[in-house]
A and B are shown apart, each in its own frame.
Chain A
Amino acid sequence: MAERVFMKGCEAIAEAAVRAGCRFFAGYPITPQNEIPEYMARRQPEVGGVFVQGESEVASVNMLYGAAAAGARAMSSSSSCGISLYSEGISYCASARLPVVVVNVQRGGPGIGAIQPAQQDYFQATKASGNGGFKMIVLAPATVQECVDMVYESFELAARDNNPVLVLTDGVIGTMMEPVVLPPMKSDEELAALKESFKVTGRACIGHPVGQRATCFPGSVGTGQEIANKEAEKMYATWDKDVRVEEYLVDDAEIIFAAYGISARISKAVVKQLRAEGIKAGMIRPITVSPFPYDTFANLDFTKVKGILDVEMSIPAQMRFDVDHAVQGRCPIQECRRSGGQLLTNDQVLEAARALIKEVL
């Protein structure tokens, strides 16, 4: 077994990005993700990369756009209200088909929101991270190890699709420390090859001889935009294979918890507690919240499943609408929620589960 190191979520995210070949990071201070830019400020110079503290979130995400247009593996991170200011740049990257990675370490909302953890940005992340109806793969880690693995992988997904990828985590996972096993560092040769492969597509705007011009036009004029949108749609249709979901003790379950990220790890602990009491509980955890595992919910055996408890650190609940969409009223769905930086506890989830059980079992 590779060596375990004890790392804070945010720092693990930053190190994983560096190992994946991230050589440009721009960001603006906002709690609770400051350890990511702070780590990058130290780390990027060590690997010959670039760190820029942008004058704003708006500037940072547009620096990211420029870096990606120049062919660099680029990442930025922010939190909730900061991510709102990223919408412009993310939309531009989606439109120009640039591979960038963005991390949202969620805090409260709406507005400035509590600086404490929340899961208040589900709709923003999965439905409309900017204007124009583009989509992104959105990965939702539940542990620090998953932060590492998913950030590392997100660079490959972004490069595969030439599309932004969002890692949606929260202030608990960003702030907590856990043991992680880090992935291997991509070698300079590998990175040079990656940069070259982007250049070969003729897309890297770094200067070309006259007649071999590269351009980065988000939203081409005339019919170009519609053609581009149809191309993007084709790409989205390939994402069925990318749907990832954890199904925990679902087979014989009568009560199903639906939760992602931090809420899922708490729900899982409660499932175990209920199982110990002989209650047939299970959990479905979307790992990709976009594309959402609709089929996993839709294909449940509703002769067995008596109720679903949607657990989110969001008021109103947001992921619940995707669960509803899949379940189509075939069993009752109740919610267990906290908001505004208030953390969910095992006891609270357990209490909500007991209320559901009392009603449906």
Chain B
Amino acid sequence: MDKVYKRTLGIQEGVVSGFCPGCMHGTAHKLVGEVVEELGKLDKLVRVEGVGCCGLGQAYVSHDTIIAAHGRACAVATGVKRCSPDSLVYTYQGDGDLASIGLDETVSAANRGENFTVIFINNGIYGMTGGQMAPTTLIGMKATTAPFGRKAEEHGYPMHVCEVLAQLKAPQFLVRTTVDTPQNVIKTRKYIKQAFQNQIDGKGFSLVEIVTTCPTNWGFTPKDSITFLRENMLAEFPVGVYRDKDAGIE
């Protein structure tokens, strides 16, 4: 019988990810591995990893990995890509890393049009540190550092990364997507592939924001967290292509 599906070589064999049940990090990792394998570039792939649950990926992926200080992945990736233009470089960052402590590095790298790929996991909460408020936490959503729920007047509103970056001229590709259904996984896969292809073609900064769940810190079962994601997260963070210079979306 023919094998029709196998583990991507981008993920180490026999290693358990360490992600919680119902977490979507695993799907995102799988897609990156599959896409780059398809592009025939696994041997050129360099991962610059953010701090937080993203950091669990270091023991899980099979390609070159640099752990950046919290928030600095886009600066580190700038150093790597500029010194080794043939490498295929991506950062893998969560919302606290990319949109709070690392917002400066993110915006500045995007504004320079740095030629690397950003995979941004937005689940609206700090995962590894235990459910603190993130820049993307929804209004009314409880967090350990916002025990009465996020209040606009005190904490401001959720940070919309794609919309913010879409104000800049340089970025090539900005997209928000999710992986709650097989259809959306396929769509996300297509976006990630485009984001890496852009880099191979020297087109510059490409960011794929994946809106995901955090059942553990949201306090839901995996199934309920998907419902919450659809009803609340996607209402605040609409999926769609915010910038695709090739498709004339500016």
Binding site for B on A (CB under 8 A): 23-24, 26, 50, 52, 54-56, 58-60, 62-72, 74, 88-89, 92, 96, 204-211, 213-218
Contacts and interface: CB of A to CB of B under 8 A. Distances in A.
A26 B75 CA distance: 10
Interface residues of B, number: 34
A66 B76 contact: yes
B193 interface: no
B43 A210 contact: yes
Contact of A216 (B66, B77, B87): B66
A214 B48 CA distance: 12
A96 B69 CA distance: 11
A65 B83 CA distance: 11
Given A55-B105, A207-B46, A207-B87, A214 B79 contact: no
B87 A24 contact: no
Contacts of A55: 104-105, 108
15 contacts: A55-B108, A58-B72, A59-B108, A63-B78, A65-B68, A66-B68, A67-B80, A69-B66, A69-B79, A205-B64, A206-B80, A207-B86, A211-B62, A213-B63, A213-B65
B118 interface: no
B147 to A, nearest CB: 30
A218 B76 CA distance: 13
B62 to A, nearest CB: 5
B170 interface: no
A136 to B, nearest CB: 18
A67 B79 CA distance: 4
Interface string B39-83: 001111110100000000010001111111100100111111011
A211 B64 CA distance: 10
Contacts of A210: 9-10, 42-43, 62-63
B59 to A, nearest CB: 8
A215 B66 contact: yes
A206 B87 contact: yes
Given A70-B87, A207-B88, A210-B42, 16 more contacts: A52-B79, A55-B108, A60-B75, A62-B68, A63-B75, A65-B68, A67-B79, A70-B79, A72-B84, A88-B72, A96-B67, A206-B87, A207-B43, A207-B45, A209-B42, A216-B66
Contacts of B65: 205, 213, 215-217
A85 B44 CA distance: 32
Interface string B98-110: 0000001100100
Name the residue among B41, B48, B64, B105 with the largest chain A CB count within 10 angstroms: B64
B69 A92 contact: yes
Nearest to A73: B83
B63 A89 contact: no
Interface of B: 9-10, 41-46, 48, 58, 62-69, 72, 75-80, 82-84, 86-88, 104-105, 108
A89 B72 CA distance: 9
B80 A70 contact: yes
A206 B84 contact: yes
A86 to B, nearest CB: 11
B82 A50 contact: yes
A50 B115 CA distance: 14
Contacts of A217: 58, 65, 67
Contacts of A52: 78-79, 82
Contacts of A66: 48, 66, 68, 75-80, 83
A213 B63 CA distance: 5
A62 B79 contact: yes
Given A208-B43, A210-B63, A62 B72 contact: yes
A150 to B, nearest CB: 24
B72 A67 contact: no
Contact of A208 (B10, B64, B66, B68): B64
B76 A69 contact: yes
Given A59-B75, A59-B105, A207-B88, A213 B64 contact: yes
Given A66-B78, A70-B83, A208-B63, A88 B105 contact: no
A206 B64 contact: yes
Contact of B69 (A24, A50, A89): A89
A210 B44 CA distance: 10
Contacts of B68: 62, 65-66
B84 to A, nearest CB: 4
Nearest to A23: B83
Nearest to A211: B62
